[in-house]
Amino acid sequence: MGKTVLIVDDDPTQRRLLQAVIEKSGFSTLQADNGDTALNMALGADGANIHVMMLDLVMPGRDGMETLEELQAKRPELPVIVLTGKGSIETVVKAMKMGARDFVVKPASPERIIVSIRNALEMKTLVGEVKRLKKTTDGGLTFDDLIGNAGSMRPVVAMGERGAKANIPILITGESGVGKEVIARAIQGASERSDKPFITVNCGAIPETLVESILFGHEKGSFTGANSKHLGKFQEAHTGTLFLDEVGELPLDMQVKLLRVLQEGEVDPIGSKRTVPVDVRIVSATNRDLAEAVKAGTFREDLYYRLNVFPIAVPPLRERREDVPALLDHFIKRFNAQEQMNVSGADNDTIELLKNYEWKGNVRQLENTIFRAMILSDGHKLKPHDFPQISGLAPAMPGKAEDALSSLVEKPDTQEDLAITFLDREGHLRTLEDIERDLIQFAIENYSGHMSEVARRLGIGRSTLYRKVREHELDVDTAKSA
């Protein structure tokens, strides 16, 4: 879905000029002719649909500065680009100090306006991602921060919120990649321990000889190589939450020691002469069927019942396909911020393609697939050929005529899709020479090198065609003269 820019200016001519420039670049626009109307729109019920505000500083009634001040107090995350006809340094400095992201001196070139809008959106995305990462690392991630709202996830959220209120052991089950750790962090964030440590242990990734030391700690000199004291994960998580990921992979002898810690509330570090009390909330996760593992004798029955007091089953992504568009949007924003990319979204065919895929690797597979597609993409929107492993289409390669000019032989969904063909990655027009070269190359390949047909379709003589082929140094090895 395209981003919306609210244009605030008392001059209708200026509003129309800005509207034409902004909408030509693929954005939607709304308009307001004064500060009061702008605030009502930005702070109203539909305010979330406004992504950037372009604000004139000089207006009758509530001027731009007053509008900016109130907006910053009530919705500081909305990027504001101020418009000024005076170009006063003092005015601009004051506006930037009050929270404006950028300024544009009227009259401004279309390129300057669009660059300012895109920079503001990228900064907003980056700020949002930083806040989310900070909440994750600080233990502040809650169930409100989960991406998507599929019906099959509502019982997970309801159970998680209930379990978070008590100090009860929780076992999260589900296939690999469904987001079990995210659920565990949301439980921590919704509990009274939200500001306490959240320590993660991947039980399947620890060498068997080091499991006891890593979990319970050791004293200096307790074994060969123990050159210093190590607290262990239980002591690191004291007063907080210990997340035991893939708990079903623990060796049987360590299962016995884990059970004792859960029962006694104390750990016995290797080489220590006394036990150490710990206050830890246990959240476990597994992609295995632990009940079957108990029957097979690979998981202790008493530990199973101790961990499985409050089970939460996370459904696979194929059972919550309606969450795919929201996850897609989230990952695009994240990678745009992290990798300084400029992908605005995906077209409808791509969204349907992703929704209908099985995703055996679940959310983790979707995340990695989107990252790869963004690297392959040669436009501002992801298309099916950017997902060759799913769509079966060949990825677009820069310089290939069939990719660069595909919208000329396939009816574009929107005018924006047609315009992208003639724009480079920065949104600027490609040169006429480059476009002509790609068009001729495409025609030669499309008509299997039959130069007479190529010349006829292009509306030029054969001698002119051969001259242009030489000028552009095109590959015509397969060309046929007839």
Residues 301 and 345 in one domain: no
Q: How far is CA 472 from the centre of its chain?
A: 40
Helix orientation angle between 432-446 and 462-472, rounded to the nearest 10 degrees: 120
For tokens 């954005």, name the residue.
Answer: 27
- The whole domain housing 41 covers 4-123
Q: Answer yes or no: is 235 within a domain.
A: yes
| 466 and 444 fall within a common domain | yes
User: How many whole angstroms separate alpha carbon 83 and alpha carbon 56?
Assistant: 4
Same domain for 17 and 83, yes or no, is yes
Helix (H/G/I), strand (E/B), else coil: 185: helix
pTM over 0.75: no
Residues 155 and 281 in one domain: yes
Which residue carries 């000019």 as its tokens?
405
| Pair (285, 341) in one structural domain | no
The single-letter code of the amino acid at 472 is H
Q: Return per-residue pLDDT of the chain as tens, 482 residues.
A: 468 899 998 888 888 888 988 888 888 899 998 988 999 998 888 888 888 998 888 888 888 888 888 888 888 888 898 888 765 677 778 888 888 888 888 777 888 888 888 888 777 766 666 666 665 556 568 888 888 889 999 999 999 999 999 999 999 999 999 999 999 999 999 999 988 999 999 998 888 888 899 999 998 888 877 888 888 999 999 999 999 999 999 999 999 999 999 999 999 999 888 899 999 999 999 999 999 999 999 999 999 999 999 999 999 999 999 999 999 988 988 888 777 777 878 999 999 999 999 999 999 999 999 999 998 888 788 999 899 888 777 665 544 434 433 433 344 444 334 333 565 655 566 778 878 888 888 888 777 778 878 888 888 888 788 888 888 888 665 444 44
181 & 293 share domain: yes
Query: Residue 44: enclosing H or E segment and its boundaries?
Result: none
In a domain, 192, yes or no: yes
237 and 279 fall within a common domain: yes
- Residue 439 sits in a domain of what CATH number? 1.10.10
What is the rounded CA–CA span in Å between residue 123 and residue 101? 9
Q: How many domains would you assign to the chain?
A: 4
> Do 165 and 94 fall within a single domain?
no
**288 and 323 share a domain?**
no
105/73 Cα distance (integer angstroms): 25
Domain end position, chosen among 335, 370, 393 = 393
Report the distance separating Cα 301 and Cα 409, nearest Å. Answer: 64
Looking at the structure, tell me whether residues 369 and 407 fall in a common domain: no
Residue 144: strand pairing partners: none
